[in-house]
Structure 1
Amino acid sequence: MDILDSSPLARALYSSDASIYRVVPTAIARPRHIDELSALVTAASQVGLPITTRGAGTTCAGNAVGPGLVIDTSAHLNRILSLDPQARTAVVEPGVVQDWLQHAGARHRLRFGPDPSTSTRCTIGGMIGNNACGPRALGYGRTGDNIVDLDLLTADGHVTTLRRGDLTVPFAQRLVDLADANLATIRTEFATFSRQVSGYSLEWLLPERGRNFPAFIAGTEATLGIVTRATVQLVREAAYAVTVALGYPSMPEAADAVTALLPFSPVACEGFGRRIVDVVARAGRPVPELPRGDGWMFVELRGDDEAEVASRAQKLVAASGCLEGWVVSDPGQAAALWKIRADGAGLAGVSLSKPAWAGWEDSAVPANDLGAYLRDFEALLDDHGLHGLPYGHFGEGCLHCRIDFPLEQPDGPRRYRSFVTEAAHLVAQHGGSVSGEHGDGRARSALLDSMYSPDALELFSKVKAILDPDNLFNPGILVNPAPVEANIRTHESALSPMTISHPEFAADVHRCTGVGKCIARTAPGGVMCPSYQASGLEVDSTRGRASVLKEMVNGTLINGWDSPEVERALDLCMACKGCARDCPTGIDMASYRSTVLDEKYRHRPRPRSHLTMGLLPRWERLLNRVPGAPSLANAVLSMPVFARLARWTAGVDQRRPLPRFQPSARLASPQAAPAKKIVADPETSPSSAADSRFQTRCNHDKGDVVIWVDSFSDMLEGSDLSAVVAVLADAGYHPRVLTDDVCCGLTWITTGQLDGARRRLRAGLDVLTPLSDANVPVVGLEPSCTTVWRDDALRLLPDDPRVRRVALNMHTVAEMLEAANWTPPSLAGHTIVAQPHCHHASVLGFGPDKRLLEAAGATVTVVSGCCGYAGNFGVEKGHYDFSVKVAHNDLLPAIEQAGPQAIILADGFSCRRQVSDLAGRRALTLSEVFASYVK
């Protein structure tokens, strides 16, 4: 079958999910339709090959990895088959992403109730498998509560439709008979509270529950069959919403108050403590004012009567016992409050001094016992010398916490097992569930005996025997589980030769927890991951690349820096650094890629492009030494035969136009001066230049500012240095153009020539450090080069104290203009399409640029994605088509929609080239836009 892939690359990509576990599969299948899926199951059954079903692989429990055949339903089985607004139902295939369904329903004011935090990429099939919840399950129910019917593919290859109360299904009567023979066990041990997700939900087989077979399948973690289609219930979103923010002396005391809030019918009730807020603040995220206290709950109320909702909110505050309570009806203010909770949740796993892991991250107890459980849980962490930042869905007693288990240490698995075993007994003492929404998987299946009796566990085995007698589906999950410490991925790789020889690199790639934010296609405002957005392939995502690099570090499935699997995984990485900003665990694939290239070519010949484009600044300087050489080069390269030869020599795609050279802009500038002169003889009067734009409108002097002209801005046409001088002078600065030959080594970094990059950085530090020590600000022009000083240099020269001083003294033009409280010229009536360079958006921050443009009165559209050029990537032979495809994701549609009169803004040389090459338009830098209107 051509849908099967047993290559080492595919097996590496699917060897992990968002859990701590690593299980290498035998093969991967991506069926295109149900018939292929059925044939796969039949074939696997005939040869006894276990089957693991996988959606987005965002599960924290380890139930999306397995040793046999992993079937990916997200690749093709991802259609919304129908949506009925009157019946408020939708029929979906298992690979439908939850947010796709939400967007489809929003046109009719409908939504799917449960809303896990991974909604931008998790699939409905995966949600059914885990019985997923999220914050608003309090108001709308779990996934299982929202299923009308479903189709289940069983081990015999047949698809059966399951409906509530329908006993015509062959195995339905056997399940009913089993339930009726064990009524006492089921009625006393199951459905004791809303978040009892662990185990099989046998309560749905009871007569008083209507023999609800679809709801029963929810939470079975694909151990009984594969859901191939589901009809789900949609809910109407009430028209009015308020957020109630409540402050308490501590987080446990906030949890104590939960039961007083439930009579007011909250849709969501989330809790967190002071440490989460401190984490958000330390990360530089906005923290609006909160009610007095050190523990908080945010409660969402909804209704169709605005006055009734407001009245209910006031009554809730009065009954809450809080220190202070606010009712927030303004959507913007409410969103700012909820963002604290979201940011804190994302940072909780990476803010500790050591890596924090899933494994005990979603336990739940009845809401009336949450405060007591929280106190005991934090005491248990202390007893084991572990740390975590708890928060969670307090309204239903569900507690999230990623913990700094020392999994890489020799006794790490033992300590992990010891803690989770005690934690399981603790949650059972409080009448709770080891899982409240993520499922049991490999992380918790072996702990089920702490909360269920032997009779209940025997029922699980009997259910499995009815639907999957040959143990085909997800073996080792829920029934006959493996020990919780088996197959922990970081421990397995701790003693590999590459981990020992490159410990920092190994630790970095293992920071990826697999949560998959990089495979989201519905979240606006992020850069990550442009190559995945264009290809839709796991191998082109940050997570996929990290998985391949983990296997390279392990040295069992993929061997060596030069393996073809590693080459394929990194081939389409554009080094955008989007993951460094957007990834919750801070994966920086651009730096990993540079390291891999550096190691790969350390003792072998490099590609031509590394010796041409990788050494571009060197060739530019050689060219500039000969008077008239730039013009001569342009004339020669304008001849087709020489242009083709130049492209072939440089490894450039023949379809890519070549840039034009210019004489050194820095040496020709009237404001030119070497660093030593600037430090020794600072300017005391405004810049004097013939260009009238250099005259300042400010009434006071802001002092010297040094413009560092990078290699791209210096000798390649496409930007106007005089415009930078103009706007800085207009803001009251004394611009000085640095004549010293300072190269940041960017092209050496992107081609993995790191020793050469370090040499250039050290030489640059010799020039730039005296300026920083003299408190003379330095302005960078090219965002990618400025980023090197603010980011890459800190990594490449970690022991050089000068780097941090220079980094703090390196600014963008917009940052300097904003610091001067500059009033920009009016751009009212102008539409601007702004394409931030990826490094600008990811590392430097585009906020100052956007604020200046908006203050000028312009209508600004900020393109969120990558332009696709990406330095040498977009011109290299073999990458042109993909570069164009990436440009069609965001940039080109934004330009077309804005119309021919719109101003296109792009500070990055690559971005301006892409606009010119593909849209036939000239993009301007921020300085050029403003300088055109400075009086």
Structure 2
Amino acid sequence: MAHVQLPTPVVRRPGRAEVNVEALAAALRERVRGEVRFDRGTRGAYSTDASNFRQVPIGVVVPRSPDDAVEALAVAREFGAPVLSRGGGTSLAGQCTNTAVVLDWSKYCTKLESVDEQARTCIVQPGIVLDELNRQLADTGLRFGPEPATHMNCTLGGMIGNNSCGATAQRTGKVVDNIARLEVVLADGTRFWCGETTDEEYREIERHGNAQAAIYRQLRRLRDEYADEIRRRFPDIPRRVSGYNLDSLLPEHHFDVAGLLVGSESTLVTVLRAELKLVPVLEERTLVVLGYPDVVAAADAVPAILPHQPIALEGIDHKLIRDQQIKNMNPQALAEMPEGRAFLMVQFGGTTTDEVERRAHQLLEALHDTENQADVAFLDDPARETELWHVREAGLGATAHVPGKADTFEGWEDSAVAPELLGKYLRRLTALYEEFGYASETGPSLYGHFGQGCVHTRIPFDLYSADGVATYRRFMERAADLVAELGGSFSGEHGDGQSRGELLPRMFGDEIVTAFGRLKAIFDPEDRMNPGKVVAPYRLDENLRLGGGWAPANPQDLYFKFPHDGGSFAQAANRCVGIGRCRQHKTDGGQVMCPSYQVTGEEEHSTRGRARLLFEMLDGHGDGPLTDGWRSTEVKDALDLCLACKGCKTDCPANVDMATYKAEFLAHHFHGRPWRRPRSDFTMGWLPAVARIVGKLHAGKLVNVLTHAPGLSRLATRAAGVEDREIPLFAGQTLQQWFARHHPAGDGVRGTVLLWPDTFTNAFHPHVGQAAVRVLEEAGWRVTMPSRPVCCALTWISTGQLGTAKRILTRTVRELAPHLREGGLVVGLEPSCTAVFRSDALELFPGDQDVRRLHAQTVTLAELLTEHSPGYRPPRLSAKAIAQVHCHQHAVMGWDPDQQLLRDAGVDAEHLDSGCCGLAGNFGFEKGHLAVSEACAERVLLPRVREASADTVVLADGFSCRTQIHELDSNGREGVHLAELLASGLEGRTATRRSAR
């Protein structure tokens, strides 16, 4: 490994690779209560963070308590192993990836230990997620102030490590400004609480003569020696995050050792607990959005706005808006934007509505008839404000993997200058883009915390070739010189890590960088804490996740064609950018992904963890932990708890589609060795074929007896290789059999529509299809239905039997082709099957014109009635409902038309933020999945069903959702399909019409 020469007496141990890993792992398992994982799969899942860098860890320890972590550090010390303390793993500068023992705090060390409302402080463990902390603090009227865009999944430990900020830092400052004390442990085992230190407290510490006293004496000497240089070289700007906080040791900052350690990125100490300063929640807020002709003009207006003391002042340019429009992100919020090609979002907060509105109007009056006057959108609706903040917070995900654009990367994503120099900086930065060939109309967007001079961007670096990497290095050096010239900071929020550690001499000069090295030697003389970051850093162009030498296996014999990734599975596996939205324990505005992570808390069971393993499986570096390709058991194990809910297809900002990746992987994993498949792949995967035989023989009642009779039911589930669950009952008559004898009603004035007889509706719940026929005919449609057996092949897709799935889909499309070529619509009742036609089929056969027609002409019942039935009025129901929206509907079709239709019918429907029901087709029946399946249902769905009043309708269009409710709800509630709910109101309407005649 090549490193910048240490300017200090820090010894880099040359024997890193000689750590006895087997003995280390054994000792950790013996002495640490937490989970110790040195397996190849775990190491692959933790090989990178959200940055451009990759280093495979030695192993991972998931401590159950801070004391557990202390013991893990002791073991690592005995074996000479380096350690990396990690939070949510969303760091963008490479500080959360290293060849070290990784401590992952985020699963167990998540407690809010105490709150002192009077002092406005609380003590937390480092793994607690920011949103969860603030949720628990809600009753106190207090909150932790800094709020990064990843607030829904970032941990406090990670925020402390990076000195995080977020939009709210305009009011509350950086994390360093909001820390009272830290409990820390050093690599040598020294453990103490630290914070601001008075002279009296210093003398008391020194009197003990222990390790802490020795450290404090050295810090005093270091401070005194470099005080003048610190004052001269540290930028006096709101967002100086780069470097160590040596300024916290100055007398004017009260020798604040906790402040010194904030932002040290696990390179000096491991944080065990933190005492946080809290701020009052501002009950009233209002948002003013100002539109400007370009982003430089918006930046130039910032100094005129700051005197009005907004609590947040964010900037976004038209390219960020365009990227979100292309990806269909936040459409309602984007419609609220004023005219312009760049925007400032100015938020005011206070205790009364009058106060915040007065301050907003004063701002607008001050800007009127000046060079900073703007087009204005004034928002005081909290819901609209939240939507617009989503526009800003979605920046990182929105600018990654935009269709039609080159891939963009971090690296120079959070530089900062004084706010009054922001316009000048952006002019010169965009000129630098032009010089290096990175600028174009589809080039990098600029956005960020303009009120504090911090700029976010993702740049289309070419990190795939040696020349591209060399150009990336030259750009980084030039950009660093530009910021240093303007007295700014290379990092204004995300930290230095490996991206900017090498560049720090350009910002601080050799003398301060030497002081950084001496500080490192005080706390970590043997360089065991996250080595190679900040001090004596790796080069910014080594350990790249991609790089000129990246040469992954790129399979060509794919079943899915991955049209959004140029037909490349390698590009699909590389789609994850590490934001970690999939790691949310709580749903946020209807998020579905990632149900297995929500109940297990395991990195490898998150969408991100699985994507990392698929990336490692392709072994693009030749040194990865996974070498078996499609045969990898580690990847199979990680995918085993993927419910294939497709939530990530929509909820992931990078649109990772893990359900598709899972199906593709399973197809190759079992190719040529079907005997290795679990029995459930055949019993569940071939369910449509079984259902067809049962229906043809009219054997439903007999099969039901055999699968539900006492004693026989257990034999049936064992024979099928599934969990001991209630097997759904076959209907005595299939929907197709009923429809063959059905006499059409109504006039069919709207034309003919084909009702798709999916296996679940056809064989198990034909009453849903019958209700749909009634609704459609009453709405003026003539209904047709295939008379021959047909299938969308969903169950074969979800079990990875893709060869069979493609054959079945081909037959189905051929059957539907005449109807499709005439422009006829296909109505799907089962969301998962409808989603196959709207998504999977096109990705399996992107060039087939009939498949394209099927994709475009398949609609849900609600879409047909709201978008294709002009003048249609649903029956008046005046009911209350809670809606469990099927995952595939959420991910592919959306629920807005359903919501509109229900509203028009007078139904007060609440869309549950419950995520996946947990059954997910075959998933909940497969061996080993019952506990996860039930835990998913118990998060939100089942408690809400149990507490609902008897007259509240439980709306569930998905067969899986209805099955899960039927089996697991102790009160015996049943889910109802939208078609059934609408049909229930038709009798009264028919009687009224007869009376009118």
State the TM-score bracket (shorter-chain normalisation).
Answer: over 0.9
- C-alpha separation in 2, matches of 1:151 and 1:635: 64
Indicate how the Cα distance of structure 1 residues 328 and 714 shifts in structure 2: closer, same or farther if over 3 A, else same: closer
CA-CA distance at 1:770 after TM superposition: 2.7
Q: Aligned AA for 2:725?
A: R
Equivalent residue of 1:860, what SS?
A: strand
Q: Which runs of 5+ in 2 are unaligned?
A: 1-27, 206-211, 559-566, 990-997
Asked if the contact 2:594/2:606 (under 8 Å) is kept, the reply is: yes
Q: Which of the residues 905, 915, 938 maps onto 1:856?
A: 905
Equivalent residue of 1:403, what SS?
A: coil
- C-alpha separation in 1, matches of 2:555 and 2:173: 45
Equivalent residue of 2:755, what SS?
A: strand
Match of 1:368 in 2: 420
Q: Aligned AA for 1:393?
A: H
The equivalences for 1:882-921 within 5 A come to: 882-919=932-969, 920-921=972-973
Match of 2:171 in 1: 139
Match of 1:219 in 2: 263
Confirm or deny that 1:509 pairs with 2:573: yes
Indicate how the Cα distance of structure 1 residues 53 and 339 shifts in structure 2: closer, same or farther if over 3 A, else same: closer
Match of 2:87 in 1: 55
Q: Aligned AA for 1:858?
A: V
Equivalent residue of 1:60, what SS?
A: coil
Deviation readout 1:409-461 (Å, 9 max, x if unpaired):
34343232222222212222222111100000011111112211111111101
Q: Which of the residues 328, 334, 345 maps onto 2:379?
A: 328
CA-CA distance at 1:139 after TM superposition: 0.8
Asked if the contact 2:313/2:345 (under 8 Å) is kept, the reply is: yes
Equivalent residue of 2:985, what SS?
A: coil
Asked if the contact 1:96/1:124 (under 8 Å) is kept, the reply is: yes
Percent of residue pairs bearing the same amino acid type: 40
Asked if the contact 1:657/1:917 (under 8 Å) is kept, the reply is: no
Confirm or deny that 1:836 pairs with 2:904: no
Asked if the contact 1:277/1:344 (under 8 Å) is kept, the reply is: no
Please give the TM-score of this superposition, normalised by the length of structure 1. Answer: 0.94
Equivalent residue of 1:94, what SS?
A: coil
- C-alpha separation in 1, matches of 2:493 and 2:314: 15
Match of 1:682 in 2: none
Match of 1:569 in 2: 638
Q: Which of the residues 674, 699, 708 maps onto 1:629?
A: 699
- C-alpha separation in 1, matches of 2:835 and 2:958: 11
- C-alpha separation in 2, matches of 1:119 and 1:398: 18
- C-alpha separation in 2, matches of 1:614 and 1:328: 51
Match of 1:65 in 2: 97
- C-alpha separation in 1, matches of 2:976 and 2:186: 60
Match of 1:845 in 2: 894
Equivalent residue of 2:181, what SS?
A: strand
Out of 921-930 and 641-650, give the one that drifted further.
Answer: 641-650
Match of 1:929 in 2: 981
Asked if the contact 1:780/1:810 (under 8 Å) is kept, the reply is: yes
CA-CA distance at 1:24 after TM superposition: 0.7
Asked if the contact 2:235/2:487 (under 8 Å) is kept, the reply is: no
- C-alpha separation in 2, matches of 1:896 and 1:246: 47
Match of 2:16 in 1: none
Out of 728-737 and 194-203, give the one that drifted further.
Answer: 728-737
- C-alpha separation in 2, matches of 1:42 and 1:723: 67
Match of 2:787 in 1: 739
Equivalent residue of 1:298, what SS?
A: strand
Deviation readout 1:141-181 (Å, 9 max, x if unpaired):
00000011111111221211112124224212321221211
The equivalences for 1:422-433 within 5 A come to: 422-433=478-489
Deviation readout 1:455-512 (Å, 9 max, x if unpaired):
1111101111111111111111111111111111123883133568877111111111
Indicate how the Cα distance of structure 1 residues 34 and 429 shifts in structure 2: closer, same or farther if over 3 A, else same: same
Out of 792-801 and 123-132, give the one that drifted further.
Answer: 792-801
Match of 2:217 in 1: 173
The equivalences for 1:182-581 within 5 A come to: 182-284=226-328, 285-286=331-332, 287-320=334-367, 321-351=372-402, 353-386=405-438, 387-491=443-547, 494-498=550-554, 504-524=568-588, 525-554=590-619, 556-558=624-626, 559-581=628-650
- C-alpha separation in 1, matches of 2:631 and 2:889: 31
Match of 2:12 in 1: none
Asked if the contact 1:115/1:137 (under 8 Å) is kept, the reply is: yes
Match of 2:918 in 1: 868
- C-alpha separation in 2, matches of 1:823 and 1:357: 50
Equivalent residue of 1:300, what SS?
A: strand
- C-alpha separation in 1, matches of 2:827 and 2:54: 46
Please give the TM-score of this superposition, normalised by the length of structure 2. Answer: 0.88
Match of 1:685 in 2: none
- C-alpha separation in 2, matches of 1:560 and 1:325: 55
Equivalent residue of 2:547, what SS?
A: helix
Equivalent residue of 1:182, what SS?
A: helix
Equivalent residue of 1:107, what SS?
A: helix
Provide the aligned length of Structure 1 versus Structure 2: 911
CA-CA distance at 1:240 after TM superposition: 2.5
Out of 572-581 and 561-570, give the one that drifted further.
Answer: 561-570
Q: Which 4+ runs in 1 deviate beyond 6 A?
A: 499-503
Equivalent residue of 2:499, what SS?
A: helix
Equivalent residue of 1:888, what SS?
A: helix
Q: Which of the residues 18, 21, 30 maps onto 2:53?
A: 21
- C-alpha separation in 1, matches of 2:930 and 2:512: 60
Q: Aligned AA for 1:859?
A: D
Out of 566-575 and 276-285, give the one that drifted further.
Answer: 276-285
- C-alpha separation in 2, matches of 1:857 and 1:733: 23
Match of 1:597 in 2: 666
Asked if the contact 2:728/2:963 (under 8 Å) is kept, the reply is: no
Equivalent residue of 1:172, what SS?
A: helix
Asked if the contact 1:247/1:291 (under 8 Å) is kept, the reply is: yes
- C-alpha separation in 1, matches of 2:184 and 2:708: 64
CA-CA distance at 1:754 after TM superposition: 0.9
CA-CA distance at 1:405 after TM superposition: 2.0
CA RMSD of aligned residues (A): 2.0
Asked if the contact 1:531/1:574 (under 8 Å) is kept, the reply is: yes
Equivalent residue of 2:344, what SS?
A: strand
Equivalent residue of 1:613, what SS?
A: helix
Match of 1:684 in 2: none
- C-alpha separation in 2, matches of 1:879 and 1:202: 51
Out of 843-852 and 349-358, give the one that drifted further.
Answer: 349-358
Asked if the contact 2:648/2:656 (under 8 Å) is kept, the reply is: yes
Equivalent residue of 1:162, what SS?
A: strand
Match of 1:160 in 2: 192
Equivalent residue of 2:498, what SS?
A: helix
Equivalent residue of 1:437, what SS?
A: coil
Match of 2:714 in 1: 644
Q: Which runs of 5+ in 1 are unaligned?
A: 673-687
CA-CA distance at 1:561 after TM superposition: 2.0
Asked if the contact 1:246/1:296 (under 8 Å) is kept, the reply is: yes
Out of 95-104 and 581-590, give the one that drifted further.
Answer: 95-104
- C-alpha separation in 1, matches of 2:721 and 2:434: 58
Deviation readout 1:340-362 (Å, 9 max, x if unpaired):
33345531223252322222211
Match of 2:117 in 1: 85
Asked if the contact 2:93/2:500 (under 8 Å) is kept, the reply is: yes
CA-CA distance at 1:191 after TM superposition: 4.0
- C-alpha separation in 2, matches of 1:610 and 1:32: 36
Asked if the contact 1:831/1:898 (under 8 Å) is kept, the reply is: no
- C-alpha separation in 1, matches of 2:378 and 2:855: 43
- C-alpha separation in 1, matches of 2:737 and 2:44: 52
Equivalent residue of 1:497, what SS?
A: coil
